[in-house]
Homo-oligomer: A and B are copies of this chain.
Amino acid sequence: MSLNGNGHASHGNGNGNGLTATGNDYPVPTARAEWIVKRKEEAARTGDTNMSQMHFARKGLITEEMAYIAKLEKLSPEFIRDEVAIGRMIIPANINHPELEPMAIGVGSLCKINANIGNSALTSNVDEELRKLHTAVHYGADTVMDLSTGGDIPMIREQILRHSPVPIGTVPLYEALNRVKRLEDLNIDVYLEVIEEQAKQGVDYFTIHAGVLVEYIPLVAKRITGIVSRGGAIMAQWMTHHHKQNFLYENFDRITEIMAKYDVSYSLGDGLRPGCLADASDEAQFAELKTLGELTRRAWKSDVQVMIEGPGHIPMDQIKLQVDKEVELCDGAPFYVLGPLVTDIAPGYDHITSAIGAAMIGWHGAAMLCYVTPKEHLGLPNEKDVKDGIIAYKIAAHAADVARHRPGARDRDDAISHARYTFDWDKQFALSLDPETARSMHDETLPDDYYKEAAFCSMCGPKFCSMNWSSKVDKFNESEFGLKKPDLTQIVTEQMALRG
């Protein structure tokens, strides 16, 4: 299966099996290379070097990316343009990432999911990272972050970018720290050097922890888990060492200039996100969020795209508050949240503790959900963990789309339910997020082909299969009252076609 786009156009449209083609009316991947060439020529002619989608949207233009996304999302191109123009939607699409199949992140489009991959100094290599990328995209990741912190970081990133049809995000601070060796030697020059290099390579969005201000540091003293964001902790340690303000905050406009040139989107990092339930929604968290709002407006002045990173660990009763605060303080910039975990007591199962929070926050309006794998807090995820994380988050994002009543969001549920009720086992498997797993669970007890049309399974057995009895009740309703079951043929056919 190839990852570089051909036959792949569906990770953004709710398909669990990212590599299945959705149709021929989508541009082949080379198309984006052509759009970019044209755009660069135009920039050379006019001297306008701002290449961001927001810049074009604000000039009233509908880019090819916007048109492409409009088709995928079944929305009008004008709507996409207007949402991007006001900053409520972003299209992370570096002009040096021609392999990209454009996608959008915003409350007006389907809820997206991100998968973190990347090695640490202790484990993993480039082949394994490429396998994780493949797994992530195959099961439906909409974007992927390369969080590598060890080994040859630029080489791993280059490989990931050149093989990725989805936007790639990074945290440039990691490479900067590796370059200077000692944390206290970090400085804006090496940072700008790193982001320019990464931007040239084609990274689509950067997590930048510019909102952790020196005056917020005392606010974390009362926390149980202090600062749990790597970037946040690094910047805090730098500030306490130098007794100086965050150099990312101080030099924000210089960073923005580079972002504009390559159209890299900001993912404003939540360096002070809570790392446990006790620390949720505290003064430190919301102080930083307010600063992220200020930075958002500054980036928008230069037509640079922004999304805002969010928690973390949040009890269920505070989840809506998190979205409300973000919308209020950050003027509706897309909210990109990690989990949140709704309890701290289940290491080994944090894909589940966090899928609960993710589904709820997606329903309340978060635009993208960053997955958490079962290995969270315990070690670097492997390929199986990546898969488990992705499936949990496809569930969360889809449940959010259904609960928000996005048009057509429930079609796949209806189709699979119909297949289930009519004992069409093969269709039930095909329409599921993970057909192989569904099939193998069924086949564990009833492997024969014969049972693929059986009006029961091993759960209740033939005599106690409720759906079997229920179909007899349907016959009664039809003969007695002339009442017919709804006809779902069209929805099932459409949904089966989407699954290839």
- A residues engaging B (CB < 8 A)? 16, 120-123, 149-150, 174, 177, 183, 217-218, 220-230, 232-234, 236-237, 240, 275-278, 315-317, 342-349, 351-353, 355-356, 359-360, 363, 374-382, 391-392, 394-396, 398-400, 402-405, 410, 412-414, 416-418, 420-421, 428-429, 431-434, 437-438, 441-442, 444-446, 457-474, 476-478, 480-481, 483-486, 488
Contact, CB under 8 Å: B445 / A122: yes
Q: Which 8 A-B pairs have the closest CB atoms?
A: A276-B417, A221-B483, A226-B470, A233-B469, A316-B403, A233-B466, A121-B461, A240-B476
Contacting residues, chain B, for A469 (C-beta < 8 A): 183, 227, 230, 233-234, 236-237
Give 7 CB contacts A-B under 8 Å.
Answer: A149-B460, A221-B485, A227-B466, A275-B417, A277-B402, A315-B410, A379-B442
Contacting residues, chain B, for A232 (C-beta < 8 A): 466
Contacting residues, chain B, for A476 (C-beta < 8 A): 217, 240
CA distance A9 to B473 in the complex (A): 45
Contact of A345 (CB < 8 Å), options: B398, B444, B481:
B398
Contact, CB under 8 Å: A434 / B348: yes
CA distance A381 to B120 in the complex (A): 38
CB distance from A352 to the nearest CB of B (A): 6
Contacting residues, chain B, for A223 (C-beta < 8 A): 485-486
**Interface class of chain A by DSSP:** helix
Contacting residues, chain B, for A413 (C-beta < 8 A): 276-278, 343-345
CB distance from A10 to the nearest CB of B (A): 15
CA distance A378 to B377 in the complex (A): 32
CB distance from A258 to the nearest CB of B (A): 24
CB distance from A14 to the nearest CB of B (A): 9
Contact, CB under 8 Å: A220 / B438: no
CB distance from A379 to the nearest CB of B (A): 4
CA distance A199 to B44 in the complex (A): 86
Contact, CB under 8 Å: B236 / A473: yes
CB distance from A373 to the nearest CB of B (A): 10
Contacting residues, chain B, for A467 (C-beta < 8 A): 225-228, 233, 275
Contact, CB under 8 Å: A349 / B434: yes
Contacting residues, chain B, for A459 (C-beta < 8 A): 120, 375-381
Contact, CB under 8 Å: B275 / A345: no
Which residue of B is nearest A440, CB measured?
B348
Contact, CB under 8 Å: B353 / A352: no
Q: For A277, A417, A460, which residue has the most chain B Cβ atoms within 10 angstroms?
A: A417
Contacting residues, chain B, for A431 (C-beta < 8 A): 345
Contact of A349 (CB < 8 Å), options: B377, B395, B446:
B395
Contact of A470 (CB < 8 Å), options: B227, B352, B399, B428:
B227
Contact, CB under 8 Å: B416 / A344: yes
Contact, CB under 8 Å: A445 / B379: yes
Contacting residues, chain B, for A442 (C-beta < 8 A): 378-379
CB distance from A118 to the nearest CB of B (A): 10
CA distance A355 to B431 in the complex (A): 21
Contact, CB under 8 Å: A221 / B474: yes
CA distance A196 to B147 in the complex (A): 63
Contact, CB under 8 Å: A377 / B420: yes
CA distance A474 to B428 in the complex (A): 53
Contacting residues, chain B, for A226 (C-beta < 8 A): 421, 467, 470-471, 473-474, 485
CA distance A201 to B412 in the complex (A): 46
Contact, CB under 8 Å: A463 / B149: yes
Contact, CB under 8 Å: B461 / A399: no
Q: For A183, A225, A446, A485, which residue has the most chain B Cβ atoms within 10 angstroms?
A: A225
CB distance from A468 to the nearest CB of B (A): 8
CA distance A472 to B417 in the complex (A): 54
CA distance A500 to B346 in the complex (A): 18
Contact, CB under 8 Å: B217 / A278: no
CB distance from A254 to the nearest CB of B (A): 25
CA distance A236 to B177 in the complex (A): 68
Contacting residues, chain B, for A460 (C-beta < 8 A): 120, 149, 230
